[in-house]
Amino acid sequence: MRVLQRIFVGILLIILVLFGIRYSINRTSGSGAGSVINFYNWGDYIDPDVIAEFEEETGYTVVYETFDSNEAMLTKVQQGGTAYDVIVPSEYMVEAMADEGLLLPLDHSKIPNMEHLDPQFLDMAFDQGNQYSLPFFWGTLGIVYNSAELGEVDFNSWDELWNPKYRNEILMIDGAREVLGIGLQSMNYSLNETDDAKLVEAAQKMKRLMPNVMALITDEIKMHLVNGESNIAVTFSGEAMSAIEGNEDLVYVVPDQGSNIWTDNFSIPYNSDNIEGAHALIDFLTRPDISVRNAEYVGYATPNETAFGMLDEEITSDEANYPPDEVIANLEAYQSLNQETLVRYNDLYLEVKIEPRD
C-alpha cells in the first residue's frame, strides 16, 4: 500500500511540475492566465471587431473598459485598483502622467508598425521622442450646425455663439479646458492661459453664454444633432463627422480665431501586469489596415500616414476632418498645467455650469 501511495504522490508531483511549466509558458506566449490585457479606452472609440480579431490572431484576451474624461482615467490609474495595460490619454494628460511617474517607457522595437505614423504627429512637445506615447487619433474642437434649419450662418468666429437668437439652442461639450478655452480664444488668449485675471475674464464671458446653452454633455451630442433636437453644438471633429453621417444637413466649422488640436495616444501605465501584451496590442492597433478600420468606425482622423493613403478620397478630402495646413497652423494643443491652475480652471468652470440660464 505504501508503495502505491509513493507512486501516486510521485505522479502527482510530476503533473504539478508540468502544469507549472505550462503556466509559465502561457504567461509569455499569449494563452492562459498571463494572457489578459486590460485596455482602458474612451467610450465608443474602437471597432469592436478589431478587438475580436486581435484576440483570435494572438491568443490574448482583452478586458475592455471605458472612461469619459482624462481626469476620470487619471484618478482610476492613480488609485491602482486595476492594473491596466494600455490606456488612451490625451496629449496634456500624457505629459502630466509621465511627470507623476504613472507611465512606463515604450519599447519601440516591439512596435514596428510605428513606422507608418505621420511624422507630423510624432516627437511632439508633450512627449518628445515618443518615450511614453504613440498617437491613436487626432482632431479639432469646433462648431457643428444644421444648415437646413439655420440657413446661411457665419460660425467662423466663436463670438457668433453669443447671438441672442440661439437662446437655449446650443449643446456644449462638458469639460473645463474646452469651455474656458472657448472663452479664452474668443478673446485671443491662449488655451493654456495661467493668468488668473484672464481666466476670470474668460469665465465671466462664458457665463454670459449660458442662456444660449441647452445642455453641457459629452457622447450624447451627436445623437441629439442627428435627431434634430438641437441645431448647434460645440464638439470634437470626430463626433461631428459621426453626426453628419446621420444628417447630411449638418456642417462642421473650426473658427478662425483658433481652436484646439488634440491627439489621443496609446500609453502603458506604471503598474501594467502584461507589458509584453500591451506592446503587442499597441502594435496591432497601429497596423495600417487596422487603423483604417478604426478611422472608418470612429470617424476621427488617423495619424497613420499609410492608413491615410488607404482611406477613400471622400474621407481624406473632407477639410472638416482633415483640415489644411493653414488651419492647423492656427490651432493650439492643450498643455499640462500645474495642480493649482487645474483646480482654478475647475472651480471657474463650476461657476459657469451653475450660472442661472433664465
Any idea which residue has 437655449 for its cell?
168
Contact call for residues 335 and 170 (beta carbons, < 8 A):
no
Contact call for residues 252 and 244 (beta carbons, < 8 A):
yes
* CB half-sphere exposure, 118, CA atoms < 13 A: 17
pLDDT of residue 319: 86
Helix (H, G, I), strand (E, B) or coil at 11: helix
pLDDT of residue 11: 53
Type and span of the H or E element at 67 = strand 61-67
Q: What is the DSSP string of 170-198?
A: EEEE--HHHHHHHHHHHTT--TT---HHH
Residues of the chain with pLDDT under 50: 1-9, 12-33
Residue 299, phi then psi, degrees to nearest 5 = 95, -5
pLDDT of residue 22: 39
